[in-house]
Structures are given as structure tokens and as C-alpha cells.
Amino acid sequence: MAKPIIQIKELYKDYQNVAGIFPVLKNVSLTINHGDYVAIMGPSGSGKSTFMNILGCLDRPTKGSYILDSHDVSTLNNNELAKLRNKTIGFVFQGFNLLARSSLVDNVALPLVYAKDQKELRVKISKNILERMGLGQYFDSKPNQISGGQQQRTAIARALVNQPKIILADEPTGNLDSKTTHEIMKIFDELNQIGNTIILITHENDIADHAKRQIHFLDGKILEDHMTEKNKVTV
């Protein structure tokens, strides 16, 4: 039986603005297991981006429980939270978020710098994973010297370099054409097949259809949480 890697119970997130307290997430509860492939969906303002930030330990909830890989996030200080995030979660963003003046190797190696690995080991690991992404000939290239699809492959390589248990991808194909989108989603599908937990934040149905489970947010609450046809076929 699959074990939970994320357990969220009665989670709330409020923000303060000039008009007072603005609730963004309201009584959200869910469990995500090791090896799940989940799409989190919802219109703009539904709370999905705020929820992603909390999932990724980039923000803290106002109230409620978040257990990440058996760690109670509320008990961790900022340094402990950063270590857990770096070890457990790999991030992929719509805008790639690559360092423009750094080579692809140095971009991919960045999480290993935070993990305090030696430079020689960082370079070796980064080159190996870039080769897995089909980018072996671009080690010394800068991001602006490669295509958008290659930049997103680099971002995925960076997300994988610490061998995280979760890949958290925020609109990962939003800046890509349809052909490149298909190639990138194939990578996510293959990563899930070898055991990675994949969480996609998306508003696109065709992207969400790659997942085995879809969670729909509306007005800060979970409106729907269901398995997809893909899950029914592959289980």
C-alpha cells in the first residue's frame, strides 16, 4: 500500500490587506501518496498558486496541519524548512528561472551548492543529468543560447539533481509550443513511471490529463478531487 508523502488537514491561508483580512485557502484537507501523479487545477484567484507555495514550503499556512515526508512543517525553523525543501522537492517553473549568466552545468548544480557538495561532484552529477535530458552538447552554453524547450529540460534537470521525492511543476509548459509541450510532458510521464511523485499546477485540461488524479480548486476550497482515465488504465 502506498504511503503518504503529503498530508494536509484543515489548512487555511489568510493575507492582510488595506481592507482587512483576506482569506485565500479555506479548510483544505488532502493526502498525496508516494508515486502519485497529481494535477492541481482552478481558475485565476482560486487559490491554487497559494496552495503550491505552501506545498513547496515557500510560504506557511495561517492555520492547519502540513506533514511533508513525515515532518511537521509547523515545527521547523526557516533553516530546517529550507533543508527539507532542498532535499525533498524539485521545482519546475513556467519561466524556467535559470541564471542568465551561468552555464547549464552551473544552473543545474545550484541545488547541490546549497547541499554543500564538493564542486567536482556537483559538476559530475550535473553533466550526467543533462546528458539524460539530451543536453550533453550544451554543458557550457548559457540559457539564451538554447531553445525554450531546452531551457525547460535544463530546469527539469536542476529539479532532479538532488534526487527529490517530489517534482512540483508550476505551469511547466506555459511558454512552450505544442510540439515541445508534448516532449516535456513525456519527460514528466516517464519520471512518474520510475517512481517520482509529480504535482502539476495547471489550468490546461490537456496537461492535466497526463496526471492520474485531478484536484480542482475554486474560491480557496477543493471543489473536486478525482482519479482520471489514465489512472484507471494503468493501475
Asked whether residue 165 carries a pLDDT value surpassing 90, the answer given is: yes
Which CATH number does 36-48+81-234 carry? 3.40.50.300
Give mean pLDDT, residues 46-66.
94
Give mean pLDDT, residues 29-45.
95
Please say whether the beta carbons of 209 and 230 come within 8 A. yes
pLDDT band at 18 (very low <50, low <70, confident <90, very high): confident
pLDDT score of 210: 95
Domain segments of the chain: what residues? 36-48+81-234
Give mean pLDDT, residues 187-196.
95
Question: Where would I find the H helices in the chain?
Answer: 48-55, 78-88, 104-114, 119-132, 148-160, 178-193, 205-208, 229-234
Output the nine-digit C-alpha cell for 34. Answer: 508516494
pLDDT score of 231: 65
* 54-68, 102-116, 135-149, 186-200: least confident range: 102-116
Q: Which residue has the cell 550544451?
A: 138
pLDDT band at 115 (very low <50, low <70, confident <90, very high): low
Give the burial class of 209: count Cβ atoms within 10 A of its Cβ; 0-12 exposed, 13-18 middle, 19 or more buried. middle
DSSP string of 106-172, one letter each residue: HHHHHHHHHTT--HHHHHHHHHHHHHHTT-GGGTT--GGGS-HHHHHHHHHHHHHTT--SEEEEEST
